[in-house]
Amino acid sequence: MLVSYNWLKKYVDLGNVTPEELAAKITKSGIEVEGVEYVSEQSTDVVVGYVASCEKHPDADKLNLCQVDVGEEKLQIICGAPNVAQGQKVAVAKPGAVLPGNFKIKKVKLRGIESNGMICSLKELGIEEKYIPTDIADGIFVFPEDATVGEPVDELLNLNDAVLELDVLANRADALSMLGVAYEVAAILDQPVKLPDEAVAVEESESVNNYISVEVEAIDLNPYYGAFVIKDVEIKPSPLWMRNHLMAAGIRPINNVVDITNYVLLEYGQPLHAFDYDKFASEKIVVRRAKNDETITTLDGQERTLTDENLVITNGKEPVALAGVMGGLDTEVTAETTNVLLEAAYFDAITVRKTVKQTGLRSESSTRFEKGVDPNRVKKAGIRACLLLQQYAGGKVVAGAAEFDELERTEKVVEIDTTHINNRLGTEMTTVDIASTLKRLQFDYKQDADQFTVHVPTRRGDITLFEDMLEEVARIYGYDNLPFTLPGGTGQSGGITERQQLKRRVKNFIQGAGLMENLTYSLTNEQDVKRLISPEVANVTTAPVALAMPMSEDHKYLRLSILPELLQVLSYNRARSQVNLGYYEMGSIFISAENELTTQPDEQLRLSGALTGTWSEQAWQQEKKEVDFYVVKGIVEGLFDYLQIPVTFSQTKLANMHPGRCALVEIENKTVGFLGQLHPTLQKELDLKETYVFDLNLEEVFTSYHAVPAYTQIPKYPSIARDIAFILDNDVNGGDVKQVIEEIGAPLVNRVEIFDLYQGDNLEDGKKSIAYSLLYQHPEKTLKDEEVEESYQKIITAVNEKFKAYVRS
Amino acid sequence: MKEQLEALQAEALQSIATTETIRDLQDIKVAYLGKKGSLTGVLRGMGKLSKEERPVVGEIANHVRTAITTALEEKTEKLEQAELEKQLEEETIDVTLPGRPVKVGGPHLLTSIVQEIEDLFIGMGYEVREGPEVETDYFNFEALNLPKNHPARDMQDSFYITNELLLRTHTSPVQARTMQEYNGEKPFKMICPGKVYRRDTDDATHSHQFTQIEGLYVDKNVRMSDLKGTLDKFAKKMFGEDREIRLRPSFFPFTEPSVEMDISCKVCDGKGCSVCKSTGWIEILGGGMVHPKVLEMGGYDPEVYSGFAFGMGPERIAMLKYGVNDIRHFYANDIRFLKQYHKA
């Protein structure tokens, strides 16, 4: 809502409060003022001039040579505007004047003839182009005849006015009108409100009933409809002050009839609509739901196809207006209009909102209906418009209004009391303080000791409860005056849950391992939502969860894996020459087994990582090392080791993964994720070098996690280390051999590590050697050499039998 | 014999003093104290002495042995020390060469901010709660006093999946879920961080996905001044003890009265600058007293219980605190951006 400071002064005495001070006060009391803009920058030496003569420039077809009387002198001015003419009163920038944009006016010669100043257009005077009436968009501005020659134009054209831009939230529909803002400002400044004149002299000899009747079929959507008839109007520009107010409020003046409906719309917050009575082609207004596929051509020239969700005004036969949204082209007020049919009605907010959404026609009118208008101001606005039409369009107002009226207008009653208010606010207000607040708000009330029965005016439809009144009292009292207190305890101890702690720990570990945290979007595209889904997720997913109305193809589905987004991040960074990257993200994926979602999807917490490029840089004391499978596996193993959860890995083949370098991650034979290298084809598609990923289901990991275990005795007895190297066929997995060693060696073998892998010289083709180091230790005794030797031999025999492996000597 | 011993001692000490290697010391030890050593030789002659002389000479002999042993030990230690020092000197390295690099990862800036806020409120007795990102229309809107067709639903145009399910537009549904879980009986303080989604086109100040932290306190006799005091503590801890806060009336369907909280602009210290649009204040968060309908739907009797709630955007806080100028930075994950803040 744009509020003109000068216009506001008509209703409230603003004293010496400047526009900026006023803005700050309004903001602090509840309606945020987003800015204060002046209609125009300061200009000097621009006055009203009288064009005494106007002839063609002898040497230029498009220029006019004018003699302009500016009071104390006559100036010869050359003017290029097509609409300049003798007898006009115009805005003249005298030599030495400075126009907005620091445009200095000097004496010049144009085609050999001296020009001493400039006749100005509104644009040149700094008014925004979009508010300038279209008929003078390319020309100079012409003042009404009563303008005084020599008078500065600033005030005449309201150029010095300040416009406050109010950000009116959904609850304060009342502030979408000058009167509403006036009540607000009056409460802030503790001033009375001067209401506009509604005393119209009607043509008693005629009754509106002879012209029009009103019938409402959709009562729930249109509880009040009032129609007025104004005869013999003369279409012309509206008075300058009205045009000035409209332009300041961001509305382009058109003609007096349209301007008056807009003016009253802004003044009362009540949208009005003017039909050309003679084009209405009926003496009956019927308001009803539109029929499906019925059409109307709206004022903007568009033909619109309607449904029974829309409310229409008809002439009994066909729609003439889309109720509360836009009028029809056929009944539009034009320069030829002489008789006006004026509508002042109350339309259902939801219906208007639906129609706006359906047609995309949001206007000053629809916005107000959508947020709710004051039921007590509907008819008054109509009467006010009648008065203005009489004053400024020479209209004769026919007596009475044709009405349908089932509108509820009673005021809400809210009980408040001083103690309750102080208890909720933490204040120590007195009963007198509260009474004075209510007076400032101009709310009627009855007082019984510290009890108030407040009658809330209908303009404040947002106030229905004690808490609503609490806010009114608090904001007028001033939020600044509330004390600072701290609440007591609740008996509950704050903190984070075990799961939240685990999440933090996992992040800390992964970060400690060198990975940087990422946050990516949950919504993804059709291709990525199908990629790199962990097999245990794919097994329980029917279809990805899709948005009903996505904004773009890029953000259409809820992700089933974090990895595709992470890979996009790697690509993004690579494209910016950032090639050595280790990233992880912890976040939810969204799993549903339903084709059509009826319940919330399962939100599963996962931990995914993606690494590419150099893992350790070459330096004087170390060789450069690229990320490889075992770097990623090491991080994952490290995490499980940290959480003390036994984990195993098994070779697997997955779509989009390197067929020979991919493993499932398993806890007790249950898949909880995977890791490995991306398939080179996908790497190429994403413009990535060798890239390794991991993806873990943290829900399963957390389920397997046990808080700190009970104490186990630290071994007191000495350990014995034994190394052993096996020669194995190439296709035997070193991990499988390790498992056999652990099984056979138990319980004496405490730990088995692989410490060497050898392939090449001195070995047969197709063979490899893997070396294991075994640690023997018994919790309760010192092991004897014979015991160790016996176990050692058993292991060799078992490995030999199972893998046809033999000991490398 | 006494003279003989004293001469022996003098001779031994002399040679110990002039010896420069540990090996030579060993030889000296053998030469004097060994089985065939000089001192042993002299002592062998003790048998010839009279009964009276024997203890006297014996005592002298012991003194001589102790003196030589001590001298040997001291000299050995001295030489060993010198040897060690020499060895260490040879082990000198170039300390200006770089160390072995450690791979450094770190948290995302938003995670750091969220955790900082979490920890701050945990200190004030709040628990941290979470809720689903795909919400029901009931919890996202209706339970928060936003019935179907409420105009304020426009304020947060949503990503619906079905008519009843949508991506949550705020973390407020966790309020409703918590109240329901606590059965309308238990007073509590909680905050809930999380991802939220709105139909916004991504640009410098909008993101279709962003994070929010919501706080809620429900108890008997919760006052609006408690909200003001709590937010003041938060603002001072988060932005500096010298910051002032102010509350302005605002509107949210789930609170009444509602507030918007501003902090005094850190850039100009409240004098007015381009960052605060010359107002001296910067908008940080919204909040208010829990709307009685929300309490009621959560099972709390609004006649008995009251509460306050507030919600803030960690992106905005990070942008203000660290001068980040484009919200898209948080989701682009440019390594050069993340590295600037991984210690935040």
SS3 content of chain A, % helix, strand, coil (to 5): 30, 30, 40
In which band, very low, low, confident or very high, does the pLDDT at B277 lie, cut at 50, 70 and 90?
Answer: confident
The answer to whether A184 is annotated as binding is: no
A91 and A143 in a single domain? The answer is: yes
Can you give the pLDDT at residue A41? 83
d(CA B342, CA A512): 12
Can you give the pLDDT at residue B203? 92
Q: What is the mean pLDDT of residues B320-332?
A: 91
- Please give, rounded to a whole number of angstroms, the shortest distance from the CA of A130 to a CA of chain B: 25
Is A548 inside a domain boundary? yes
Interface of B with A in 63-92 (CB under 8 A): none
Which residue in A196, A232, A181, A192 sits closest to A211, CA to CA?
A: A232
- Helices A466-477 + A431-441 axis angle, to 10: 90
Is A710 inside a domain boundary? no
User: What element of type H or E holds A344?
Assistant: strand A340-346
A145 and A174 in a single domain? The answer is: no
For B77-129, how does the pLDDT look when each residue is reduced to its tens digit (9 = 90+)? 999 999 999 999 999 999 998 888 888 899 999 999 999 999 999 999 999 99
d(CA A24, CA A757): 76
Residue A330 contacts residue A277 (beta carbons within 8 Å): no
Is A66 inside a domain boundary? yes
Which CATH number goes with the domain that contains B296? 3.30.930.10
Instruction: Please name the member of B102, B186, B332 whose beta carbon is closest to the beta carbon of A572.
Output: B332
A659 and A730 in a single domain? The answer is: no
A385 and A447 in a single domain? The answer is: no
A234 and A286 in a single domain? The answer is: yes
- Mean pLDDT of all residues belonging to chain B: 90
Is A713 inside a domain boundary? no
A33 and A54 in a single domain? The answer is: no
Residue B344 contacts residue B319 (beta carbons within 8 Å): no
SS3 label, residue A773: strand
Determine, for residues A467 and B246 on separate chains, whether the beta-carbon distance falls below 8 Å.
no
Can you give the pLDDT at residue A586? 98
Report whether the peptide linkage leading into residue A718 is cis, meaning its omega lies within 30 degrees of zero: no
In which band, very low, low, confident or very high, does the pLDDT at B39 lie, cut at 50, 70 and 90?
Answer: confident
Can you give the pLDDT at residue A59? 85
Instruction: Please name the member of A426, A516, A622 whose beta carbon is closest to the beta carbon of B100.
Output: A622
Task: Give the residue ranges of chain A where pLDDT is below 50.
Answer: none
B283 and B190 in a single domain? The answer is: yes
Determine, for residues B118 and A496 on separate chains, whether the beta-carbon distance falls below 8 Å.
yes
Residue B195 contacts residue B209 (beta carbons within 8 Å): yes
Determine, for residues B160 and A548 on separate chains, whether the beta-carbon distance falls below 8 Å.
yes
Domain of residue A139 covers 44-156
A297 and A257 in a single domain? The answer is: yes
- Is the ipTM beyond the 0.90 threshold? no
Can you give the pLDDT at residue B344? 62
Query: Three-class SS string for A267-336?
Result: HHCCCEEEEEHHHHCCCEEEEEECCCCCEEEECCCCEEECCCCCEEEECCCCEEEECCCEEECCCCCCCC
Residue to mutate among A18, A473, A484, with most B CBs inside 10 A, is A484
Interface of B with A in 259-288 (CB under 8 A): 259-260, 277, 279
B72 and B18 in a single domain? The answer is: yes
The residue from B90, B118, B149 where one domain ends is B90
Determine, for residues A510 and B233 on separate chains, whether the beta-carbon distance falls below 8 Å.
no
A564 and A684 in a single domain? The answer is: yes
Report CA-CA distances (Å) from B40 to A125, A387, B30.
Answer: 126, 142, 10
Can you give the pLDDT at residue B185? 87
B34 and B152 in a single domain? The answer is: no
Residue to mutate among A357, A479, A626, with most B CBs inside 10 A, is A479
Chain B touched by A520 (CB under 8 Å): yes
Chain B touched by A545 (CB under 8 Å): yes
Partnered with residue A349 across adjacent β-strands are none
Residue type, A382: G
B66 and B39 in a single domain? The answer is: yes
Residue type, A174: D
d(CA A1, CA B251): 16
A568 and A694 in a single domain? The answer is: yes
Is A519 inside a domain boundary? yes
Which CATH number goes with the domain that contains A102? 2.40.50.140
Is A491 inside a domain boundary? no
Is B103 inside a domain boundary? no
Determine, for residues B105 and A490 on separate chains, whether the beta-carbon distance falls below 8 Å.
no
Residue A39 contacts residue A99 (beta carbons within 8 Å): no
B86 and B113 in a single domain? The answer is: no
B211 and B277 in a single domain? The answer is: yes
Residue B41 contacts residue B5 (beta carbons within 8 Å): no
B76 and B154 in a single domain? The answer is: no
Interface of A with B in 408-447 (CB under 8 A): 423-427
Report CA-CA distances (Å) from A75 to A66, A89, A588.
Answer: 8, 14, 77
**Phi, then psi, of B277 in degrees rounded to 5:** 50, 40
For B119-175, how does the pLDDT look when each residue is reduced to its tens digit (9 = 90+)? 999 999 999 999 999 999 999 999 999 888 776 675 558 999 998 999 999 999 999
Residue A347 contacts residue A311 (beta carbons within 8 Å): yes
Interface of B with A in 199-228 (CB under 8 A): 199, 201, 208-209, 217, 219, 221-226, 228
B278 and B208 in a single domain? The answer is: yes
Can you give the pLDDT at residue B156? 55
Is B104 inside a domain boundary? no
Please report residues of B whose CB lies closer than 8 A to that of A622: 100
B303 and B265 in a single domain? The answer is: yes
B296 and B333 in a single domain? The answer is: yes
Is A198 inside a domain boundary? no
Which CATH number goes with the domain that contains A441? 3.30.56.10
Is B102 inside a domain boundary? no
The residue from B58, B90, B122 where one domain ends is B90
A660 and A511 in a single domain? The answer is: yes
What count of residues does chain B have?
344
Residue A437 contacts residue A421 (beta carbons within 8 Å): no
Residue to mutate among B126, B167, B333, with most A CBs inside 10 A, is B333
Q: Count the neighbouring beta carbons within 10 Å of the beta carbon of residue B53.
A: 13
Domain of residue B121 covers 109-341
- Please give, rounded to a whole number of angstroms, the shortest distance from the CA of A606 to a CA of chain B: 15
Burial A166-204 (b: 16+ CB within 10 A, else e): bebbbbbbbbbbbbbbbbbbbbbbebeeeebeeebebbe
Residue A469 contacts residue A443 (beta carbons within 8 Å): no
In which band, very low, low, confident or very high, does the pLDDT at B211 lie, cut at 50, 70 and 90?
Answer: very high
Which CATH number goes with the domain that contains A625? 3.30.930.10
The count of domains in chain A is: 6
The count of domains in chain B is: 2
Is B276 inside a domain boundary? yes
B318 and B236 in a single domain? The answer is: yes
A18 and A143 in a single domain? The answer is: no
Can you give the pLDDT at residue B214? 95
Which CATH number goes with the domain that contains A329? 3.50.40.10
Q: What is the DSSP letter of A104?
A: E
B22 and B119 in a single domain? The answer is: no
The residue from B90, B122, B150 where one domain ends is B90
